[in-house]
Amino acid sequence: TQLLEQSPQFLSIQEGENLTVYCNSSSVFSSLQWYRQEPGEGPVLLVTVVTGGEVKKLKRLTFQFGDARKDSSLHITAAQPGDTGLYLCAGGPKAGGTSYGKLTFGQGTILTVHP
Amino acid sequence: SQTIHQWPATLVQPVGSPLSLECTVEGTSNPNLYWYRQAAGRGLQLLFYSVGIGQISSEVPQNLSASRPQDRQFILSSKKLLLSDSGFYLCAWSEGLVSYNEQFFGPGTRLTVL
């Protein structure tokens, strides 16, 4: 069974601060996705990384996939109150099998950005 | 464009009562469909997935079952609810069979079993 460990579980910061959320596993993943979820709603995809060492930027958000494709990080620069939410990483199983699009989700990081 | 619907949005049921949650997808054909359960503010646990009509795979043993009577309809059911069935239930769909296809989530159903 593949597991994804997210840290920290909770993050409470002031507007303008930087933060990093980590997603780690002992397993290799074919891809790593990051989702953001607001209370009472379904998760919304932020980014997908599929190549070891890949870095993607989405405005103030920077996503990185580890070289060995076992870990990933999400860095937010100058956080804003609108960034508040639950951030979830999700890994696709190692290539070679029939994955049926199944993802393994981390336990999530609850981010609160205070104005 | 594709849309995904879930209903009801909220549900309060007594222990031992039956359950039926429905999910429908519009604007796509032969999607992969998924049912997840989420504890408050936590990650998603995959319950069932389906790659076609009548094809259901269960991820964890539990008090729930799923059915896919039509291509774009996915139903989550229980004959007798337990207190532990409370949670936020999410339906999702994706295209194709590769793991890095984006999953699109519905708005969810908040189930409280009393």
pLDDT tens digits, one per residue of A47-93: 999 999 999 999 999 999 999 999 999 999 999 999 999 999 999 87
DSSP bridge pairs for A97: A95
pLDDT tens digits, one per residue of B2-25: 899 999 999 999 999 999 999 999
With an 8 Å Cβ cutoff, is B96 touching chain A? yes
Show the tokens assigned to B23. 């999910």
Residue in A41, A42, A107 nearest the CB of B42: A107
Q: If phi over 0 gives left and psi between -120 and 50 gives alpha, with beta otherwise, what is residue A40? A: left
CATH class of B3-113: mainly beta
Q: Where are the domains of chain A?
A: 14-94
Q: Where are the domains of chain B?
A: 3-113
Write the CATH number of the domain with boundaries A14-94: 2.60.40.10
Contact B94 A101 (CB under 8 A): yes
Measure in Å the smallest separation between the Cα of A93 and chain B Cα atoms. Answer: 7
Distances (CA, A) of A90 to A59, B2, B51, B78: 21, 22, 20, 28
Give A100's pLDDT tier (boundaries 50, 70, 90).
low
Give B39's pLDDT tier (boundaries 50, 70, 90).
confident
